[in-house]
């Protein structure tokens, strides 16, 4: 059996590409971007999804050790952010979230959730001047909210629908986000007025 020159060249180029992807810095960077791309698609697919009932049984623990069940946020507008103190994109977006919280914290329930050790998080927070509501996950994160990418943020309306799902750092204090929150809050108020009448 005689191999053609074209076949040998194709196999050779394929092997070179595989070696580059597996064993070089270029390959590592490429794999990271592919991973982020896939994670962003996965998170974006969660937009417009209704939260499942099991999501409401999820427990969160605040910095003082008090337990909160996600069910307590049912019917409220929620800004849910998954973060970690070692995550640079998380740290980059946190000042914007703090500004948004100062303006919307009385109307929107902010939940800054981490799975890190509580001592590490408390030490981290002592060095910074954030007054955001920080929580630890008290169990498995509901599948509809789970993501392997940090940060991941969801804005959930009062009808338990995911209105916005984003992975990676974002300017959360932007006009776009403020307009979106204003619209969600207006819609929520209109629904409450209908219910009350």
**154-166 average pLDDT score:** 91
The answer, yes or no, to whether residue 189 has pLDDT greater than 90, is no
**59-72 average pLDDT score:** 94
The answer, yes or no, to whether residue 188 has pLDDT greater than 80, is no
Predicted local distance difference test score (pLDDT) of residue 105: 96
12-32, pLDDT tens digit by residue?
Answer: 887 887 777 667 776 656 555
- 157 pLDDT band (50/70/90 cuts)? very high
Cβ proximity of 85 and 108 under 8 Å? no
Predicted local distance difference test score (pLDDT) of residue 77: 95
Q: How many angstroms separate the Cα of 22 from the Cα of each of 14, 16, 25, 31, 176? A: 12, 10, 9, 9, 40
**52-57 average pLDDT score:** 70
Predicted local distance difference test score (pLDDT) of residue 135: 97
User: Domain limits of the chain?
Assistant: 1-45, 49-196
Q: Which residue has the higher pLDDT, 42 or 141?
A: 141
Q: How many CB atoms are located within 10 Å of the residue 9 CB?
A: 10
Q: What predicted TM-score, i.e. pTM, was given to this entire model?
A: 0.75
CATH architecture of 49-196: 3-Layer(aba) Sandwich (3.40)
């Amino acid at each position: 059996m005689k191999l053609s020159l074209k076949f040998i060249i194709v196999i050779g180029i394929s092997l070179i590409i595989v070696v580059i992807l597996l064993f070089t810095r270029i390959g590592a960077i490429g794999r990271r971007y592919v991973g982020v791309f896939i994670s962003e698609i996965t998170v974006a697919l969660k937009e417009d999804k209704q939260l499942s009932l099991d999501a409401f049984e999820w427990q969160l623990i605040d910095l003082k050790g008090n337990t909160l069940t996600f069910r307590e946020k049912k019917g409220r507008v929620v800004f849910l952010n998954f973060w970690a103190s070692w995550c640079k994109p998380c740290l980059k977006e946190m000042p914007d979230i703090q500004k948004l919280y100062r303006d919307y914290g009385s109307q929107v329930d902010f939940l800054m959730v981490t799975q890190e050790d509580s001592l590490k998080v408390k030490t981290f927070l002592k060095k910074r001047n954030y007054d955001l509501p920080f929580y630890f996950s008290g169990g498995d994160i509901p599948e509809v909210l789970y993501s392997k990418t940090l940060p991941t943020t969801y804005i959930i309306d009062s009808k338990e629908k995911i209105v916005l799902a984003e992975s990676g750092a974002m300017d959360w204090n932007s006009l776009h986000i403020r307009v979106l929150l204003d619209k969600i809050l207006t819609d929520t108020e209109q629904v409450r007025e209908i219910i009350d009448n």
